Structure 1
Amino acid sequence: MKRPIVRLSSLQLTNIKNVKRGTIYMPNTVNKILSADKAEILGIYGQNGSGKTAIVDALYFLQKVMIGDDLDQSLEDYMNMDSDTAEIFADFNLFMNGIVFEIGYRLSLSREEKVVVISRETLSGAKNENGIRTNKTVFMDYQRDQTNTIFKPQKRLDEILEENKDIKTDLIVARKMAEKSNCSYIFGGVVGIYSAENTKMDFNNFQLLFLLCLNLL
């Protein structure tokens, strides 16, 4: 089996530095090409103040979050001064064994008493195989203020617990630890559990999450 390839397809920023809201699309995304044969981008250019540095900085912070590091508090300096919230939304294409998985990761941030916290994370996916594409659906939605819920959708959580009921406590503990250390619950908590358990995962219960953590950026 060939090593999976992950490519960024688009990046949307909200309230990052001087960017109130903006999206960039990679060339293959614009041309509706699902291929990883060649490099798509060599550089970013634009007028002063157009958001070039914001893109580079956002990718740096996104990488740190997705490898499970604690949230870098210098992020506060990169959030727009007129807002206490910011968001980074990245779409990726994952190429694996002739199948292309479209993965969307949304990272929502909020400023609370001069401390930046992860207020919400969502992970969604769609599958392209033999010219047929499934609908893109959310398979993990973590919200910091919903303390009575491990994560949504409940259907996805039930699928995990059906396979391994003992993991429920681990998921709850991982959530609390992620919030205490201010790191990603998805990439710092859930992926860590599955790595420790060495649990085999398929598309419906988070293999793609695991692959993204190992191969992204």
Structure 2
Amino acid sequence: MCDSWVRLTSVLIEHFRSVAHGELSLVNRRRVHSASVLGLCGQNGSGKTALIAALRVLQQILSRHSVDENLTEYIQAGERCARLSFDFCVRFDSGEVPVSYEFKIFRRLRLSTDAPDDEAEQGETVNPVIQDEKLYAALPEKNGGLRRTLLIDTSGNPFIPVSKYRQLIGRSPEARANLTVAKKLAEERRLSFIWSPALLEQIKQRMGSSPEALPLSEQVCKILQRLNLYGTAQLFVFGPAAGMPKHLDVLPLRMKYESSQEHTAPFGSVPLTLNGPALLPEPMFLSVQRNVHQISLVLEKLIPGLEIQLKDLGNELSSAGQMLKRVELVSVKNRTPIPLRYESEGIRKIIAVLPLLIGVYNRKSVTAAVDNLDSGIFEYLLGELLRIISEQGRGQLIFTSHNFRPLETLDKGSVAFTTANPLNCQY
């Protein structure tokens, strides 16, 4: 997968937050750049944050995390569910594959078992449920063309179309029973069934036992695994909405590190707090330190005389017996280190977004989505950063802005506007 990447191409939102219906294309049809940059501007309440929140839900689903418990609050009043749909361009060694994924978020009442019978209504809580998932891909046909094909639709039990189910899973009653249980557990745990390890494992088992199912099974496995990697380590979403990391709270680092520990992942993202000391596994320390140094080199070019360092505060032993490093981010001016939490909001904001912008600049596989990117950053400096990324970068940047001035440095095809009409929020 070294030559593979994923790029979001469009988003559709229905009955989610303030948006009854909204569509947004992330493709610049005016000018072709290696990077994909989209700045979304509009008045308050017009749906800008809804886009970032939708991407946050996508990130959780693709990375196999439970969606936030308060997600039901995002469903518009009077509606049974919210619907989100995403189109991707997925690049494999063999070529590009257009992929679409959509799902609905339903409310489900959950009665607290601790509540007495006469207090049953007070014990009710609302649980978000991910249902009616659909996965499409444009697969090659015998005549050499591509045809958009529905691969998995979870509205059936355990999924339809029947023809695709039999190709991917077979006719085994045991496999059907396992998937039925996995689907039920996914709903209870606020997870996606399509991205569950259980479904992927059943498809892999079918690949080993049925050669005639191999081509489709291989393609579906590649799509599921590649988008899971994208959600886990290459899609970064930041904003002030509930459930999302805030810009000024963490330094998002995308990193690789070596470790002799058997279960240590070779890649991933590390949200390093900007608000005080943090604990890191000892094998991770040197890689995080190198990341911070690279960020500091860029920072010094933007703000002469300012650098950041990762201060080693000593070792600690966790309750599980793991050796940890206690560290803190500090800024250095005139050779004087100051804990980063005491720096100005503007400086902390620039430092917080720099890893995202560096990642988008260097790597085609990285997508960063940031709400209110213009808040607290000098507009001229932000405009120059956006221009450089748009013209010379490789990855994808999606951001919202209240200030139109930084957007003037971008090509018109990289700027979109929200409308005040929630029934037709054409971005």
The TM-score bracket by the shorter chain reads: 0.7 to 0.9
Equivalent residues, number: 207
- The answer to whether structure 1 residue 125 and structure 2 residue 140 are counterparts is no
What is the letter of the counterpart of residue 146 of structure 2? T
What is the letter of the counterpart of residue 180 of structure 1? E
User: Partner residue of 1:77?
Assistant: 73
Q: Structure 1: which 5+ residue stretches go unaligned?
A: none
Distance of aligned partners of 1:173 and 1:32 in 2 relative to their CA distance in 1, 3 Å threshold: farther
Q: Matched residues in 2 for 1:195 and 1:69: separation?
A: 21
User: Partner residue of 1:211?
Assistant: 226
- The answer to whether structure 1 residue 135 and structure 2 residue 147 are counterparts is yes
1:177 to 173, 182, 185: 185
**Is the 1:99–1:128 contact (alpha carbons within 8 Å) kept by the matching residues of 2?**
no
The TM-score, its normalising length taken from structure 2, stands at 0.44
**Is the 1:191–1:209 contact (alpha carbons within 8 Å) kept by the matching residues of 2?**
no
User: Partner residue of 1:53?
Assistant: 49
1:147-203 deviation digits (Å, cap 9, x = unpaired): xx2100111111123498864443233122212323111112545535986967966
Q: Matched residues in 2 for 1:186 and 1:84: separation?
A: 22
What is the letter of the counterpart of residue 124 of structure 1? Y
1:104 to 100, 104, 125: 100
User: Partner residue of 2:85?
Assistant: 89
- The answer to whether structure 1 residue 193 and structure 2 residue 195 are counterparts is no
**Is the 1:100–1:128 contact (alpha carbons within 8 Å) kept by the matching residues of 2?**
no
What is the letter of the counterpart of residue 225 of structure 2? F
Task: Quote how far apart the aligned CAs of 1:62 are.
Answer: 1.2
Q: Matched residues in 2 for 1:198 and 1:123: separation?
A: 19
What is the letter of the counterpart of residue 17 of structure 2? K
**Is the 1:126–1:133 contact (alpha carbons within 8 Å) kept by the matching residues of 2?**
no
**Is the 1:13–1:22 contact (alpha carbons within 8 Å) kept by the matching residues of 2?**
yes
Say what the alpha-carbon RMSD is for the aligned residues: 3.0
Distance of aligned partners of 1:165 and 1:154 in 2 relative to their CA distance in 1, 3 Å threshold: same
2:164 to 143, 153, 156: 156
Q: Matched residues in 1 for 2:108 and 2:188: separation?
A: 14
Q: Structure 2: which 5+ residue stretches go unaligned?
A: 110-125, 236-427
SS of equivalent to 2:67 = coil
Identity among equivalent pairs (%): 26
What is the letter of the counterpart of residue 183 of structure 2? R
The TM-score, its normalising length taken from structure 1, stands at 0.81
Task: Quote how far apart the aligned CAs of 1:98 are.
Answer: 4.8
User: Partner residue of 2:18?
Assistant: 18
**Is the 1:67–1:188 contact (alpha carbons within 8 Å) kept by the matching residues of 2?**
no
**Is the 2:26–2:38 contact (alpha carbons within 8 Å) kept by the matching residues of 1?**
no
SS of equivalent to 1:44 = strand
1:104-161 deviation digits (Å, cap 9, x = unpaired): 10111112333221231000010479xx541101100002xx5xx2100111111123
**Is the 1:99–1:127 contact (alpha carbons within 8 Å) kept by the matching residues of 2?**
no
1:22-74 deviation digits (Å, cap 9, x = unpaired): 0000124x4697xxx72211532222222110000110011101211123121
